[in-house]
Amino acid sequence: MIKVWKVEVAVVGGGAAGMAAAAAAAREGASVLLLERNTCLGGVLDQCIHPGFGLHRYKEELTGPEFAFRLHTELEKARVEVAFSHTVINVNPQKPEILAVGPNGLVRVQAKAVVWACGAWERPLGHLLIPGTRPAGIFTAGLAQRLVNIHGLLPGRRVLILGSGDIGLIMARRFHLEGAEVVGVAEIKPFPGGLLRNVRQCLEDYGIPLFLRTTVSEIHGRDRLTGVTLVEVDEQGKTIPGTERFIKVDTLVLSVGLIPEIRLLEGFLSCDHVQRGPRVNSFWQTEHPWLFVVGNALVVFDLVDTVAAVGEEAGRFAARFACGEMQGEPCVPLKRGQNVAALVPQAFIPGEPARLFLRVIRPFPKARVKISPVYSKVHLGLRPAEMVEIRLSSEATAELQRCSEATVEVHPQ
Amino acid sequence: MRLVCIACPLGCELLVREDSGRVLVQGNRCTRGEAYAREEMTDPKRVLATSVKVLGGDYPLVSVRTDRPVPKRLIPEIMAFIRTLRVEAPVELGQIIVEDLLGSGAKLLATRTVRRAD
């Protein structure tokens, strides 16, 4: 017989977003069950042993495990039930009901609200369609990080990193410190993908070169990687013939993007075509009012502090929804305008305070961010690697009452 | 000279000039930027985070960091020293692994808990 677990709020995923959501929902007075597939909480924070976390939330610089410990302490205080080693295998599209498999078999969780906090997965080599062989020695950055930081294994001796996202930059430093030779970081765009502070303290500090407008055009090697061909690209991202050069490496580390983990929801949720996460309103609520999505499962955030803050908000709203204090509120859709890449949420609830996150498509030294008719402000130094966060008061969003939709635009100044 | 501040994720781009012995900093959005730029011009320091081998633990490693920034020039030497270390499980978060890292005055602290393997 399947065990049935009745609870007000079910949270799926015990990383930063899930822990913060579960603790917040419990503090609102809801009964909360947190489902985690691993045997411990913390998610990817566990392997992120570098400092840089918590400056906003805890006003000090913590490492990933330290940040996870703080959230864990909050969770314990808030009396949240945690089901470890439970993997969710199905979400009912009609109602807040989850099927999970745990050490004692199947479990059916009947909730009143669900918070989805499953994080993101790494874009693998198969997505990149790079010609050549498929030998051993090719790793995603997160996997390499897990091998080095959790298992104490060094995946290779001479490494090229493809992609200059933060994880790639951090792994360049990690490989260097552990005694491997990092020949460089190749980035197809004309600007680095990660935070500038990481370019500074992960590459420049250790003399690791960053090759901009460069990508890998061929993989070489039969059993183990023997090298890659690097090639330069033009403004359109097309390879420039004649610029190919062979680089001898035994390891290729991919840091080429993260994709929200929502595969169990895809059949019944409409998703944003740019960031590939679900569409939500400013309560972090999907088109199914009982289903909330937070953290990197929604959009890939820069900072875990933000992930925790958004998780907390969603947890609070989920608890209110579960207690019947909130329905599916009428929303004003928010459209992506000029120069806007990532954007969440995609709808505002007029008269409620809102937080908006966006990414620009390319760097702008100075640009006006406009959400007509409620917001218009000049921002300095906008970069795709750094999310812009905008907070709107309830008075500001109340002005949207009369509008059928709003558009977010970025105009260079 | 141009520098990117690493004190927080904002990553302010600093313009640092030396004028008759005084270091002038522009572009910083907070006071930490100024302190960072001054230190960067004289003796750059970084918090070092890495891991140490654990004996008899439920994890093979314990993640560690220095309790304060250490001179960048000492990092290769410190890494070589840390590689020789072994600690016996259990290890508590915050536990001091090394009291004074190669005379830098920095402590090496565990950043996670590792239990004894059963």
Q: What is the pLDDT of residue A3?
A: 92
Q: What is the value of pTM for the model shown?
A: 0.94
Backbone angles phi, psi at A404, to 5 degrees: -90, -25
Nearest to B50 among A177, A195, A381 (CB): A177
Q: What is the pLDDT of residue A45?
A: 97
Choice between A196 and B109, residue whose per-residue pLDDT is larger: B109
CA B34 to chain A, closest CA, distance in angstroms equals: 15
Q: What is the pLDDT of residue A216?
A: 98
CA B76 to chain A, closest CA, distance in angstroms equals: 7
Q: Does residue B9 carry a pLDDT above 80?
A: no
Q: Are strands A364-372 and A406-412 parallel, antiparallel or unpaired?
A: antiparallel
Cβ pairs bridging A and B (under 8 Å)? 75
Tell me the pLDDT tens digit for each residue of A263-316.
999 999 999 999 999 999 999 999 999 999 999 999 999 999 999 999 999 999
pLDDT band at B14 (very low <50, low <70, confident <90, very high): confident
Taking the C-alpha atoms of residue A273 and residue A330, their distance in angstroms, rounded to an integer, is 23
Taking the C-alpha atoms of residue A283 and residue A316, their distance in angstroms, rounded to an integer, is 9
Q: What is the pLDDT of residue B7?
A: 83
Give the residue-averaged pLDDT of A402-406: 90
Closest-CA residue in chain A for B79?
A: A177
Q: How many residues does chain A have?
A: 413
Give the residue-averaged pLDDT of B95-116: 96
Give the burial class of A50: count Cβ atoms within 10 A of its Cβ; 0-12 exposed, 13-18 middle, 19 or more buried. Answer: buried
Count the Cβ atoms, other than its own, within 10 Å of residue B31: 10
Q: What is the pLDDT of residue A330?
A: 86
Q: Is the ipTM of this complex over 0.85?
A: yes
- What is the rounded radius of gyration, in angstroms, for the C-alpha atoms of chain A? 22
Nearest to A152 among B44, B49, B53 (CB): B53
Q: Are strands B70-71 and A210-211 parallel, antiparallel or unpaired?
A: unpaired
Task: For residue A381, give the amino acid letter.
Answer: G
Q: Do A151 and B61 touch (CB under 8 A)?
A: yes
Q: Do A66 and B49 touch (CB under 8 A)?
A: no
pLDDT band at A372 (very low <50, low <70, confident <90, very high): confident
**A219 closest CA partner among A188, A243, A241, A251:** A251
Q: Does residue A406 carry a pLDDT above 90?
A: yes
Give the residue-averaged pLDDT of A196-202: 92
Q: Indicate which of B112, B115, B118 best probes the interface with A, i.e. most A CBs within 10 Å of its own CB.
A: B112
Q: Does residue A328 carry a pLDDT above 80?
A: no
CA A96 to chain B, closest CA, distance in angstroms equals: 35
Choice between B60 and A402, residue whose per-residue pLDDT is larger: B60
**A235-239, A251-255, A373-377, B1-5: least confident range:** B1-5
Give the residue-averaged pLDDT of A357-381: 94
Tell me the pLDDT tens digit for each residue of A10-39.
999 999 999 999 999 999 999 999 999 999
**A92-96, A319-323, A383-387: least confident range:** A383-387
Using the Cβ of B73 and the Cβ atoms of chain A, whether some distance falls under 8 Å is answered with no
Cβ neighbors of A176 (< 8 A, separation 6 or more) are A182, A206, A208
Q: What is the pLDDT of residue A144?
A: 97
Q: Do A197 and B4 touch (CB under 8 A)?
A: yes
pLDDT band at B41 (very low <50, low <70, confident <90, very high): confident
Q: Does residue B3 carry a pLDDT above 90?
A: no
Closest-CA residue in chain B for A205?
A: B72
**A216 closest CA partner among A121, A109, A131, A324:** A131
pLDDT band at B15 (very low <50, low <70, confident <90, very high): confident
Which chain B residues in 1-60 lie under 8 Å from chain A, judged by CB atoms? 3-6, 8-9, 11, 13, 44, 46-47, 49-51, 53, 59-60
Q: Does residue B29 carry a pLDDT above 80?
A: yes
Q: What is the pLDDT of chain A when averaged over all its residues?
A: 95
Tell me the pLDDT tens digit for each residue of A334-343.
999 999 999 9
Q: Do B49 and A195 touch (CB under 8 A)?
A: no
For residue A380, the chain B residues in CB contact (below 8 A) are none
Q: What is the pLDDT of residue A168?
A: 95
For residue A73, the chain B residues in CB contact (below 8 A) are none
CA B118 to chain A, closest CA, distance in angstroms equals: 15
Token digits for A104? 């004692």
Q: What is the pLDDT of residue B107?
A: 97
Q: Indicate which of B15, B29, B51 best probes the interface with A, i.e. most A CBs within 10 Å of its own CB.
A: B51
Which ranges of A103-149 would DSSP assign to H, the alpha helix? 141-149
CA A242 to chain B, closest CA, distance in angstroms equals: 34
Taking the C-alpha atoms of residue A75 and residue A81, their distance in angstroms, rounded to an integer, is 9
Q: Does residue A51 carry a pLDDT above 80?
A: yes
Choice between A15 and B10, residue whose per-residue pLDDT is larger: A15
Q: Does residue B21 carry a pLDDT above 80?
A: no
Q: Cβ distance A72 to A19 under 8 Å?
A: yes
Give the residue-averaged pLDDT of A120-134: 96
Q: What is the pLDDT of residue A228?
A: 98
Our CA angle for A408, A413, B3, nearest 5°, is: 105
